[in-house]
Amino acid sequence: MQDLGDLREGYYNTAELINTALWIEEDCKALNLKGIGTNLGCYGSIVPDAENLGTLVQIARQIEARIGRPLDWVSGGSTTTLPLIHDGSIVSGINHVRIGDAIFLRDMELYYDYHFEGMHDDAIILEAEIVELKTKPSHPVGTITLDAFNNRPVYEDIGEHQRALLAVGRQDIGDMMKLLPEDEGIRLIGGSSDHTIIDVTNAEGSYQVGDILRFKLQYEHIVFASASIYVVKVFE
C-alpha cells in the first residue's frame, strides 16, 4: 500500500514501497506480488483524483519495469473512487477498486452530491422498539455537566414535546443522530450507550410503547450494528 496523503496505512516514502515490492518478488519465494494499492478518504478525507491516482500508476509502472512483468492489480482506492469510474474519468492504469458501503447505502448522495441510477436506500434497515413514550421538557432541568461520553451537549428549549425512547444506543449503532427515519416527521434528539431519544410530536404515524420504528442507515451504523451482539441480524 502506498500512502498518497490520506495518512492512514501504507508507505509514504515511494522508494520504500518499490524496494519492498522487489524484495517480495525476488526473495519471498512463497509469495506472489499481486499488485499495489492506496487508500483515500477513510482518515484524511482526501479525494481520489487524477494527480494522486496518477502517482500510483506511475509507481506501478516503475515496479513493473524492475520486475519485468505487469502487476495484476493497481488498486485505486475504495468507495470514494466510484464517481470517477461512473464519470469515465478514472485514471488509465487503475484496474481495481475496493467498493464497500456504496453497494448498500446512499452515502455518496448524502455527502458527495453524487447519484447512482438504480440504487436503493433500504437494502439494510434498522428496526428499534419504543420502550418509553412520554411528554417531557425539551431542555434538561438542573445544572448541566458532561454526558456519559464526556461531551457537553447544547440543548434547544422548544417547550414540552412527546419523546420516545428506543432500545438501541451508541454501543449498537454509533452516532444515532445520523439515523434516517422512514417516518420523516421524527426528529433525532440524542441518546446514550443503550438508548436513542427521538421527538415524535410531529411524526406522520401515531405510536405507542412496543411499536417498532424503522431507520435507514449510514456506514457508521452498519459498522457498529454488524459487530454488536445485541443487534439481531435478519437476512431476507
Overall average pLDDT of the 42-60 stretch: 96
Report the pLDDT averaged over residues 47-60: 97
Distance CA 94, CA 201 (A): 51
pLDDT tier at 207, thresholds 50, 70, 90: very high
* CATH 2.40.37.10 domain span(s) along the chain: 125-227
Considering all CA atoms of the chain, what is the largest pairwise distance in Å, rounded to the nearest integer? 73
| 19 confidence band (pLDDT: 50, 70, 90) | very high
**pLDDT the model gives residue 223:** 94
Yes or no: say if 86 and 116 are a contact pair by the CB < 8 Å rule: yes
Read off the pLDDT band of 91 (50, 70, 90): very high
Query: Which fold is adopted by the domain 125-227?
Result: Lyase, Ornithine Decarboxylase; Chain A, domain 1 (2.40.37)
What mean pLDDT do residues 157-161 have?
Answer: 92
Q: C-alpha distances in angstroms, 139 versus 95, 162, 192?
A: 54, 13, 16
- pLDDT one-digit tens code per residue, 122-140: 999 999 999 999 999 999 9
- Which is more confident, 65 or 100? 65
In 3D, which of 156, 150, 154 has the Cα closest to residue 170?
150
